[in-house]
Amino acid sequence: MGKVVELFNCLKLRCSNCEKEKYEIHIDIKNDLYTCECGSHTFIPLNLEEVY
Ligand SMILES: [Zn+2]
């Protein structure tokens, strides 16, 4: 249960390049930028409305 709550509170992002969806905690950070495995740094937030 604790793990589910943790994921629910975490921002989910979609890579604008390869369109892979990831929770922010699962995205690599390089040079202070979220970095997808495809090399893109551009992510679109998916669940902002759920968070707020
Ligand atoms: Zn990507």
* Its pTM surpasses 0.85: no
* CA gap 21, 19 in Å, rounded: 6
pLDDT band with cut points at 50, 70 and 90 for residue 48: low
What separation in Å is there between the alpha carbon of 10 and the centre of ligand 1? 19
* CA separation for the pair 27, 35 (Å, rounded): 6
pLDDT confidence of residue 35: 96
| Gap between the terminal Cα atoms of the chain | 21
Q: How far is the CA of 13 from the centre of ligand 1 (A)?
A: 10
pLDDT at 43 over 60: yes
Alpha carbons 16 and 41: distance in angstroms, whole number:
9
Tell me the CA–centroid distance for residue 38 and ligand 1, in Å: 4
Of 8 and 32, the one with more pLDDT:
32
